[in-house]
């Protein structure tokens, strides 16, 4: 028997598991006699180990998968399958740790694999014999690829480097310092002229394959990269990663063509259909999504599975998909291209609308000019004061909130927004009353659910404007001479429709009688009304 223990996984920054906060479930031997090793699974349906990577031979006859018993230290496996019937026809044995990458050369003579420990192996695939161990990387190798002519092999390392190898001599051709974090994915262009790489630094980079010079940098992902692939004609690249999106890039100008969103977890693998018209993305959410390459619209994909997906690839004839997960793999037919209906649009959000008051009165006898944009500039007598403004809720939906903007102005002391000599103000109470739509009276007090402000003076927070205490209130000491805003949310049980009269009271009772607002403006937050129903169709005339 064995027990599973949850332990942290150590990996460096990048698309590595620990860098993105993952914990892996690794089997740990219990203190019992070791059981005999189970017989190898004879076919794909019986295979239940991790499959992290896979590649077909170009004739589609064989499928090579890579993975192991876990993601990390336990011995890995590379299995060769008959693609037609799923039977196991051989193994490329010898990796001491989990195998994270596998590629088959275009002519089918070579295979390359890479393990968690950084060991890269080059194989004679028809003979299923090891040709060479390529030892340069000091840590985890996540990705590798052959050049189209098979003469070069590129491998990407945990330290951000890319090593290019000569497959005839097994010698290192060059090393490229590619990324500031781990190099996690790479692929040669179909013409072999360009090498694309992706890394934990959120970047896709393009390199001149002949000399290793950087050609371009593609920016836009919000988290570490995990996968990339070229379209068969070389005009596009798809990249995906831990930000749960895939991005499509135009290689003519290196501009983003669009973002493919909808996965609920990391995008771990992406592949183009051999004719380039469609692409597939796989995710740890257990879903393979299919996309129309030209429109970037989602199509119906295969049924989701209850396993983390690590690799997806099309068969060379484009009729099948291989999907690899932490519980084995399967070959499924490629669904017919049928677009998924777009999700319903989100409901319209409430909109802020400037309120232009129809009247202003001051209990202390101050005067105000009201601009066409709703800005109110107060002059005249300074004293403890209450401003009262009359207005009507504009056409639109129900009222959801009120916003008070305190505005700086060169005519105010210290530019205001207050009238005190130091430019400050204290709003003791803010209150709104309303009445029935179309009327003039405002007998009902609005209930507020809460308030917030962009700036609050110590001991003078915005919450103080919702009580009845003259000594409390909102002030902005420390933020004089700048605009500030406070907003008030209406309680959900309050309904104030368009056309309702409003009476807005700004009470200012600071002890020295000068701390009143000098310049301000009000906004209303209104729901967007639903569209009017379409008129009924007229009955045809006889």
Distances (CA, A) of 147 to 107, 115, 165, 197, 309: 11, 20, 10, 14, 26
**C-beta atoms surrounding 135 within 10 Å:** 10
Neighbour tally for 82: CB within 10 Å: 15
- Nearest Cα neighbor of 228 from 207, 203, 193 is 203
pTM for this structure? 0.68
Domains parsed from the chain with CATH numbers: 44-333 (2.130.10.10), 351-526 (2.60.120)
Please tell me the distance from the alpha carbon of residue 286 to that of residue 297, in angstroms, as a whole number: 20
Order of strands across the sheet that contains 309-314: 309-314, 320-325, 328-333
- DSSP classification of residue 19: G
β-strand pairing of 246-250 with 236-241: antiparallel
- Tokens 């677009």 sit on residue: 339
As a whole number of angstroms, the distance between CA 294 and CA 479 comes to 52
Q: Which of 398, 341, 377, 392 is nearest to 517 (CA)?
A: 377
Phi then psi for residue 86, to 5 deg, are: 75, 10
Q: Which of 359, 364, 361, 360 is nearest to 514 (CA)?
A: 364
The CA-based dihedral angle spanning residues 261, 265, 267, 273, taken in that order and rounded to the nearest 10 degrees: -60
**353 beta partners:** 524
Contact status, residue 153 vs residue 165, Cβ threshold 8 Å = yes
Question: In degrees, to the nearest 5, what angle opens at C-alpha 328 toward C-alphas 326 and 331?
Answer: 125
d(CA 454, CA 406): 11
pLDDT tens, per residue, the chain with 542 residues: 333 322 223 233 333 343 333 333 333 333 344 445 668 899 999 999 999 999 999 999 999 999 998 777 788 999 999 999 999 999 999 999 999 999 999 999 999 999 999 999 999 999 999 999 999 998 899 999 999 999 999 999 999 999 999 999 999 999 999 999 999 999 999 999 999 999 999 999 999 999 999 999 999 999 999 999 999 999 999 999 999 999 999 999 999 999 999 999 999 999 999 999 999 999 999 999 999 999 999 999 999 999 999 999 999 999 999 999 999 999 999 999 999 998 888 889 999 999 999 999 999 999 999 999 999 999 999 999 999 999 999 999 999 999 999 999 999 999 999 999 999 999 999 999 999 999 999 999 999 999 999 999 999 999 999 998 888 999 999 999 999 999 999 999 999 999 999 999 999 999 999 999 999 999 999 999 877 666 766 655 65
Number of helices (H), then strands (E), in the chain:
0, 41
């Amino acid at each position: 028997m064995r027990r599973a223990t949850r332990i942290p996984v150590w990996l460096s920054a990048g698309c590595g598991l620990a860098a993105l906060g993952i914990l892996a479930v690794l089997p740990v031997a219990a203190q019992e006699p070791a059981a005999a090793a189970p017989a190898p699974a004879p076919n794909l349906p019986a295979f239940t180990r991790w499959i992290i990577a896979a590649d077909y031979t170009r004739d589609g006859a064989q499928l090579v998968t890579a993975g192991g018993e876990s993601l990390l230290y336990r011995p890995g496996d590379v299995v060769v399958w008959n693609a037609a019937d799923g039977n196991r026809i051989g193994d490329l044995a010898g990796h001491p740790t989990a195998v994270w990458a596998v590629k088959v050369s275009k002519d089918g003579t070579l295979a390359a694999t890479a393990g968690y420990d950084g060991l890269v192996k080059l194989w004679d695939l028809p003979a299923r014999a090891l040709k060479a161990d390529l030892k340069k990387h000091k840590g985890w190798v996540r990705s590798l690829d052959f050049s189209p002519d098979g003469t070069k092999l590129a491998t990407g390392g945990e330290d951000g480097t890319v090593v290019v190898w000569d497959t005839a001599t097994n010698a290192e051709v060059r090393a490229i310092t590619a990324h500031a974090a781990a190099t996690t994915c790479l692929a040669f262009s179909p013409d072999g002229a360009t090498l694309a790489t992706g890394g934990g630094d959120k970047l896709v980079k393009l390199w001149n394959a002949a000399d290793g010079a950087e050609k371009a940098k593609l920016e836009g992902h919000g988290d570490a990269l995990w996968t990339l692939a070229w379209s068969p004609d070389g005009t596009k690249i798809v990249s995906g990663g831990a930000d749960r999106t895939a991005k499509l890039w135009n290689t003519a100008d290196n501009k983003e063509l669009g973002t493919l969103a909808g996965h609920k977890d990391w995008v771990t693998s992406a592949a183009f259909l051999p004719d380039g018209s469609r692409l597939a993305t796989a995710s740890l959410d257990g879903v393979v999504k299919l996309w129309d390459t030209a429109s970037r619209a989602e199509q119906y994909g295969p049924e989701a599975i209850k396993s983390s997906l690590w690799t997806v690839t099309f068969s060379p004839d484009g009729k099948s998909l291989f999907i690899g997960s932490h519980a084995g793999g399967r070959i499924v037919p490629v669904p017919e291209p049928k677009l998924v209906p777009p999700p319903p649009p989100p409901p319209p959000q409430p909109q802020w609308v400037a309120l232009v008051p129809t009247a202003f009165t001051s209990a202390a006898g101050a005067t105000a000019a009201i601009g066409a944009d709703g800005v109110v500039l107060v002059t005249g007598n300074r004293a403890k004061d209450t401003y009262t403004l009359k207005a009507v809720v504009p056409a639109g939906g129900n009222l959801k909130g009120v916003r008070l903007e305190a505005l700086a102005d060169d005519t105010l002391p210290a530019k205001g927004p207050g009238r005190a000599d130091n430019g400050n103000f204290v709003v003791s109470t803010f209150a709104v009353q309303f009445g029935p739509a179309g009327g003039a009276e405002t007998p009902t007090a609005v209930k507020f659910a809460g308030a917030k402000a962009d700036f609050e003076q110590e001991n003078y927070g915005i919450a103080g404007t919702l009580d009845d205490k003259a000594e409390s209130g909102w002030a902005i000491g420390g933020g004089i001479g700048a605009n500030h805003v406070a907003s008030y949310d209406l309680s959900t049980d309050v309904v104030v429709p368009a056309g309702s009269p409003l009476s807005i009271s700004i009470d200012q009772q600071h002890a020295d009688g000068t701390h009143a607002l000098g310049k301000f403006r009000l906004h209303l937050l209104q729901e967007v009304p639903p569209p009017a129903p379409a008129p009924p169709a007229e009955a045809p005339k006889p």
